[in-house]
């Protein structure tokens, strides 16, 4: 009796105090890390960069982001249907939004998003195993979407894929076929395969076709919309045909900036007038001695400003400046 009471007291202590305390500690650590990461970012600079983006592109990106987060909520809806658990749609969508917001911004989404799901789904009657299953199902859904989009991209444009992954284009093409085959096998498993099989002691139950097929379609549409956000925000090209960077030793000596001269070779490696090596073959040349000079020097001369949108780049391509 005493042992049973002690075990119950320990479980109650874990549920009421230790688990919330660990959760708050983890959140505090993530907040501290985020604060350090954002220390070099100033809000005025963020606003300036936002103003340099075309308004139509910015509005489209915001709408696509909202649509993507709305679709993410149905990852959890399908996962709960796979589990056979009922949670009201409003609560499911709210939980999914909070979980993905934490996971996408703090990183380690399986841990941070899982912790949020456990906290919010626990009160709805889901156990830790149920929440782990939901998180795993959502992870598989994301992997399916990435597999389909990457597979189609590698098949349609293998040369560009080869450049991105540094592989032979034939290997990239074969990888794209393999990814699509794996997704096809997953769909076939739900349609024709065994209802359950064991893998290293874990029993895996096949999702019903009414779950697996919408899962595949949902993942593809959601990740395609996410990619569209980047397509809208990133410039389509650049008027710079070639950017040459030659390393130069920094001028700082006493550690006042990262990268100070602290080795003997630093005093010998720079040639006199290092810029003059390429001056006669370039339109612009500049000398960047610290990271503080990158934006004012290269941004105003060589590297295109953020507001060089495709229509301006096309104009530059149509009416190039004389070299």
**DSSP states along 69-130:** HHHHHHHHHHHHHHHT----HHHHHHHHHHHHHHHHHHS-HHHHHHHHHHHHHHTTT--HHH
pLDDT 10s digits, 32-54? 877 877 777 778 888 888 888 88
- Distance (Å, whole) CA 101 – CA 68: 12
Partners of 135 in the β-ladder: none
- Distance (Å, whole) CA 95 – CA 101: 10
Question: Is residue 196 within a helix (H) or strand (E), and if so which, with residue range?
Answer: strand 196-199
For the chain, what are the domain ranges? 53-233, 243-323
Residue 49's pLDDT is 80
Is residue 229 within 8 A of residue 291, CB to CB? The reply is no
More confident residue, 116 or 66: 66
A 10 A CB-CB count for 13 gives: 11
The mean pLDDT of 126-139, rounded to a whole number, is 88
Radius of gyration of the chain (CA): 27
Token pair listed for 233? 């925000």
More confident residue, 126 or 277: 126
* Residues 6+ away with beta carbon under 8 Å from 126: 85, 87, 134
pTM of the model: 0.64
Residue 84 backbone phi and psi in degrees, to 5: 80, 20
pLDDT 10s digits, 65-115? 999 989 998 999 999 999 888 888 888 988 888 888 888 776 667 677 887
Residue 226's pLDDT is 92
- Distance (Å, whole) CA 37 – CA 44: 17
- Distance (Å, whole) CA 58 – CA 307: 12
pLDDT 10s digits, 246-292? 655 556 656 666 656 555 555 566 667 777 777 777 777 776 666 56
DSSP state of 43: H
């Amino acid at each position: 009796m005493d042992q049973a009471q002690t075990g119950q007291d320990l479980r109650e202590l874990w549920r009421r105090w230790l688990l919330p305390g660990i959760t708050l500690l983890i959140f505090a650590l993530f907040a501290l890390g985020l604060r350090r990461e954002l220390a070099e970012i100033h809000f005025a600079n963020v606003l300036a960069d936002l103003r340099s983006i075309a308004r139509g592109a910015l509005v489209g990106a915001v709408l696509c982001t909202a649509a993507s987060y709305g679709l993410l909520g149905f990852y959890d809806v399908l996962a709960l249907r796979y589990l056979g658990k009922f949670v009201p749609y409003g609560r499911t969508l709210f939980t999914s939004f909070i979980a993905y917001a934490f996971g996408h911004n703090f990183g380690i989404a399986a841990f941070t998003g899982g912790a949020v799901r456990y906290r919010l789904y626990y009160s709805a009657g889901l156990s830790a195993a149920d929440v782990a299953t939901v998180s795993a199902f959502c992870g598989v859904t994301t992997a399916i979407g990435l597999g389909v989009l990457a597979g189609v991209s590698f098949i349609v444009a293998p040369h560009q894929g080869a450049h991105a992954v540094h592989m032979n284009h034939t290997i990239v093409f074969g990888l794209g076929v393999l990814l699509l085959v794996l997704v096809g096998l997953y769909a076939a498993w739900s349609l024709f395969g065994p209802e359950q099989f064991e893998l290293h002691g874990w029993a895996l139950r096949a999702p019903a076709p009414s779950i697996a097929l919408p899962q595949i379609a949902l993942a593809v549409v959601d990740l395609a919309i996410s990619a569209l956000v980047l397509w809208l925000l990133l410039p389509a090209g650049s008027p710079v045909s070639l950017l040459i960077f030659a390393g130069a030793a920094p001028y700082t000596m006493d550690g006042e900036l990262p990268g100070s001269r602290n080795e003997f070779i630093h005093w010998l490696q720079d040639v006199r007038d290092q810029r003059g090596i390429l001056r006669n073959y370039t339109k612009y040349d500049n000398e960047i001695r610290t990271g503080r000079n990158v934006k004012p020097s290269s941004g105003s001369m060589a590297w295109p400003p953020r507001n060089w949108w495709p229509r301006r780049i096309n104009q530059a391509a149509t009416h190039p400046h004389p070299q």
